[in-house]
Amino acid sequence: MKQALLRSPRVEIEYCVGCRWLLRAGWVAQELLTTFEAELAEVALVPASQAGAFIVRLNGETIFDRVEEGGFPELRLLKQRVRDRVAPRRALGHSDRPLDQG
């Protein structure tokens, strides 16, 4: 069987199927692809076998886990975490402001 080649950088969003979080995962994927269209090779949506999961990984490294961090990621924070790894010198405009400054 031919092994699929993984393109890098690759974001993986693992979401709970039972919780119906596919739309949320799709929205996060769309936002990341729009923001990092030149930097990301792909964003994959992965149905989770674990109930309540919403995990975002970048090249296999977990950068957000709903269970560990409580709740869903602020999109601004998630974009910062991706940027810090794939394009550290890149400005994110309004997404660079600290969370408490709206």
Any domain includes 1: no
The three-state secondary structure class of 44 is strand
* pLDDT confidence of residue 93: 80
Q: Is residue 86 part of a domain?
A: yes
| Residue that wins the pLDDT comparison between 96 and 17 | 17
CA 56, CA 78: separation in Å to the nearest integer?
9
- For position 1, what pLDDT does the model report? 46
Domain span at residue 65? 10-97
Measure the CA–CA gap between 32 and 78, rounded to whole angstroms. Answer: 9
| CATH number, domain with residue 59 | 3.40.30.10
Minimal CA–CA distance to 24: which of 10, 14, 34?
Answer: 14
pLDDT of 30 strictly over 80:
yes
Task: Please state the domain count of the chain.
Answer: 1
Write the pLDDT tens digit of every residue in 44-72. 999 999 999 999 999 999 999 999 999 99
Three-state DSSP at 5 gives coil
pLDDT on residue 97: 66
Q: Please give the DSSP secondary-structure letter assigned to residue 48.
A: E
Is 102 a domain residue? no
- Mean pLDDT for 72-88 is 94
Q: Does an H or E element contain 31, and which?
A: helix 22-35
Residue 2 placed within a domain: no
Q: Is residue 3 part of a domain?
A: no
Tell whether 17 is covered by a domain: yes
- In a domain, residue 5? The reply is no
